[in-house]
Amino acid sequence: MSENWHKRHALSLASQLPDNASDANAVIRELQHLVDTWLHVAPEPTKASVTVLRVVPELPGSAA
């Protein structure tokens, strides 16, 4: 039931599309582009922190 508003909103937008199917699809593609690039820009991926471990040879005479 909670997704019904999606359908109502889609119908509202569809009523404003051109009658020609290819023009309507072009408008929908542009709308998807606007949503992806302007409304909801994906955040830049953060760099993972890296820890580098190095094996150091045991010094002569040191206790283990």
* pLDDT tens readout for residues 51-63: 888 888 887 877 6
Break the chain into its structural domains and give their ranges: 4-39
Please state the pTM of the whole predicted model. Answer: 0.55
User: How far apart, in whole angstroms, are the C-alpha atoms of residue 64 and residue 58?
Assistant: 8
| Tens digits of residue pLDDT in 6-51 | 899 999 999 999 999 999 999 999 999 998 888 877 777 788 888 8
